[in-house]
Structure 1
C-alpha cells in the first residue's frame, strides 16, 4: 500500500500547486532534485569532466535502472535529451525507398507524424493510417490485413498525448513479429504510469521521456533497441561516441545502442533521471500503475458528472490521462481559470494528433493527468472548480 502522504512530503511542489499535468511534466521528488543539484555543485567545484568521471558508476546505474524498468538490458539503452530525438534516431535509422510503406495509427503523436511526412517527401515512401476499431484504438485486424511485402515499419503511440486510451501494444507486437516487420513504440506517456515490458510487448524500438510519469527532469529521453535488429540499421548521425574510427578512412559502429548515442550529456539531468527511475522501481511499477489508473478513473468520473462537460477519451482500456471539453468555454480559458485557483492542467491541440483530427475534428481539449501523489480530495476540488466555471 502506498503511503501517499509520505510521498507528498517528499514532493515540494505539492505544497504550492494542485498538479494535474503529469502527462506534461510531473513534479519531481526531493531525491531527484538532490541528485541534480549535487552534481551541478560538483561541476562548479571540481569541473565538468571531473564531476562526470566521479559519477561514472552512478551514470552506469541509470542504464541498468532503465533496462530493469523496461525488461531489457543496459546495452540496449541510449540516452537522449528528449523522447522525440530518441524516436527520430530509431526511425531515421531504417532505410526507406520509393514505395515502402509505414503503417501507423490515428492516435500517432504529432512530431512522429511530421517525421513520417518528411520521409514521404525525401524518400517517396508511403504512410498508411490504420483505421480505429469500434473503441477508437488501433484496429489490429485491419493492421494485419494491411501488411504486405512493401511494409518497412509499424509505428504506434502506446498512449496518445490527447486522450486516455491505451493502444493494444502487445497485440500489435504479435502481428509485427509474425510478419517480420520492425515495430517502433512511442511509450512517452506510458513508461512510469504503468508497467511497460519490451519482452511482453514485442516491440523492436521503444522511446520514452523522464519528465512525464517517471517524474524525472526535463531534457531527458531514452531509446531501447532490440539487439537482434542492430545490424540492419543505419543511424542517421555518427560521432565519437557512436562510431569507432578504424585508423584509416572508415569507422565501425559502437556496440549495442551506443551507436545511437552522443558523447555529450547533461549529467546532472541524467543523474536526476536515474534517481526518478530508482524511486519508481522502489515503489513498484505495478503498485504505481494500480494507484495512478484508479485516480484516472476517478478524475474521469468526477468530470463526467458535470453537466456541459464532455469526456473525449477513446479506447477500450483507459489510463490516467483524461481529456474533456466544457460547453461554451474554450479549452485555453478553462486552463487559465484553473491556474488562477492553483490547479495545473493543460491544453492539447489538433496539431498534436493530426490523423485523429482528420477523423474526429475535435477542438483543443483540456487535459487532466493525475499521478500517484495526487489525492481524491484534490480531484474533487478540481472538478468542483470546473463545475463552477459552468455557472459563470
Structure 2
C-alpha cells in the first residue's frame, strides 16, 4: 500500500486565521488559546440569528451545526458520536463522571501526585463525605509514573476508580495513558482520563487508551471558546447503566410521575443549555480535524525542541519538566531573579504566559522546592522565529 503524503501546515494561513498572534508572542495555549476566526464567526452568526428569532428557534434552525459537535469530536477520538457528551468544562465533565460511580464507604480512588487540582479537590471532598480512601501512585526518579507501583496498588487495593491527568497543568510531562488503561482493563477498575491539556495537542485514540471516561476542555489546545468541554464515555459505562446523580432534561425523558428513561448514549450526561457553546466547540474541533492532529503534533514538537534547546543553554534558568515524554508545556523557575522583574520583562516583550503557584499543584511544588513557576505553552500557529525571540528576550533579561 502506498504511504499517504505528510501534511505540511500553511503557517501563514493559520496565522491569518488567528489575529491575536499578530500583536503578541502568545505562549498560553495551555491556559486559554487563541480562537481561530472561523470559530468566532460561527458564534457571531449564531448570536445574530438569536437576536432575530430567539434562542429556541435558533437552536432548531441550527440543529445540524449542533449535531456536528458530536461527529467532529468522535472523529477526533476515533469513536462514535453516541459516546460523546457536551460539557461546560473538563471539570464539569469530571464531576458528572464521578457522580455516576456508586462509591461506598471504604472504596478506593487511585490517582497521581500530578492530577489536576480541581480533580484532587473533588477526590478529597468525596473522601470527607463518603469515607473513601485516596491513594497516589509514586513517580520514578526521572519523574515518570511508576507503573510497577501502580499495578501493585491496583492489585492490592482494588480501586473502584483510577484517575490520571494525561498532561499535568504544572509540567510538560506526558503520562502513559495507554499503559494505565491496560491495567484498568486487566483488574476491572473504572478509568477516568483528564485529557484537558492533550486534546488538540496530541493524537488521542480511545480504542487504544481504553478509558471509561475521558474529559476535555475546549479553551486550551482545541482553540475553542471558554465554558465548553466534552465527556467521552465507553460502552462499558453505558452497558452498566451509569448516569450522573443530577439529570438534566436533555439527559432523560420523564415517562411516568415516578420514573424516567435515560438517553441511550453519552448524552445522558449532558446539561440542557448547549446550543451556542456547542456550535463554537464544533467549529473548533472541526478546525483541528481539518488542519490534522498529526500535523499539529509534528509542528508542536518542532516548536518545543527549539524553545527547550534555547532555554536550556541559558545560565540562571531551571527547567522543571521531568519525565521521558514531554509535551508543549514548558515550565521553569529562577532562583536568582525575582518573579516581579521577570513578569515585567516578559510582558514588556509582549509575551503572553502563565504564572503558577503551589496551590495549583501542591505536591509537585513541594517536591521541586519552589514557590512559583512560569509556564510557556506554544501551539502550531506559533513560529520558530517566535521561539528564538523568546529565548533572546530571556537571555537579555539574565544579563
Asked whether the equivalents of residues 94 and 215 of structure 2 are also in contact (C-alpha less than 8 Å), the reply is yes
- Of 208, 213, 225, which residue of structure 2 is paired with 1:217? 225
CA distance in 1, matches of 2:242, 2:356: 34
CA distance in 2, matches of 1:87, 1:35: 27
Encode CA deviations 1:283-335: one digit per residue, 9 max, x unaligned: 11111111112212221111111110110001111111100012323445423
Deviation (angstroms), 1:135: 2.4
Q: Which structure 1 segments of 5+ residues have no match? A: none
- Of 146, 150, 157, which residue of structure 2 is paired with 1:143? 150
Q: Say whether 1:56 aligns with 2:63.
A: yes
**SS of the residue 1:92 aligns to:** helix
Deviation (angstroms), 1:158: 0.2
Q: Say whether 1:106 aligns with 2:106.
A: no
**SS of the residue 1:282 aligns to:** helix
The CA RMSD measured in Å over matched residues stands at 1.4
Q: Structure 1 pair 139/332, CA: closer, same or farther in 2 (3 Å)?
A: farther
Cross-structure match for 1:344: 352
Encode CA deviations 1:70-119: one digit per residue, 9 max, x unaligned: 11211111111111101111122111122111111111010000001001
CA distance in 2, matches of 1:156, 1:275: 28
Which residues in structure 2 correspond to 1:43-82 (within 5 Å)? 43-82=50-89
Asked whether the equivalents of residues 243 and 269 of structure 2 are also in contact (C-alpha less than 8 Å), the reply is no
Q: Say whether 1:184 aligns with 2:192.
A: yes
CA distance in 2, matches of 1:303, 1:316: 18
Q: Say whether 1:121 aligns with 2:125.
A: no
Asked whether the equivalents of residues 246 and 252 of structure 1 are also in contact (C-alpha less than 8 Å), the reply is yes
Q: Which structure 2 segments of 5+ residues have no match? A: 1-7
Encode CA deviations 1:197-255: one digit per residue, 9 max, x unaligned: 11111111100011111111111110000022222524121121112212221222222
Cross-structure match for 2:251: 242
CA distance in 2, matches of 1:254, 1:332: 52
CA distance in 2, matches of 1:259, 1:333: 50
Deviation (angstroms), 1:349: 1.9
**SS of the residue 2:160 aligns to:** strand
Cross-structure match for 1:170: 178
Asked whether the equivalents of residues 108 and 157 of structure 2 are also in contact (C-alpha less than 8 Å), the reply is no
Cross-structure match for 1:85: 92
CA distance in 1, matches of 2:377, 2:341: 18
Task: Give the stretch that moved more between structures: 199-208 or 89-98.
Answer: 89-98
Aligned length: 390
- Of 270, 274, 280, which residue of structure 2 is paired with 1:261? 270
Deviation (angstroms), 1:341: 1.9
Cross-structure match for 1:287: 295
CA distance in 1, matches of 2:339, 2:35: 26
Q: Structure 1 pair 282/38, CA: closer, same or farther in 2 (3 Å)?
A: same
Encode CA deviations 1:43-81: one digit per residue, 9 max, x unaligned: 112211111111101110111100110112111111111
Q: Structure 1 pair 193/332, CA: closer, same or farther in 2 (3 Å)?
A: farther
**SS of the residue 1:23 aligns to:** helix
Q: Structure 1 pair 62/332, CA: closer, same or farther in 2 (3 Å)?
A: farther
Deviation (angstroms), 1:358: 4.4
Deviation (angstroms), 1:273: 1.2
CA distance in 1, matches of 2:133, 2:305: 38
CA distance in 1, matches of 2:158, 2:257: 37
Cross-structure match for 2:284: 276
Asked whether the equivalents of residues 11 and 30 of structure 1 are also in contact (C-alpha less than 8 Å), the reply is yes
Task: Give the stretch that moved more between structures: 34-43 or 226-235.
Answer: 226-235
Task: Give the stretch that moved more between structures: 244-253 or 195-204.
Answer: 244-253
CA distance in 1, matches of 2:57, 2:339: 48
Deviation (angstroms), 1:149: 5.4
Cross-structure match for 2:388: 380
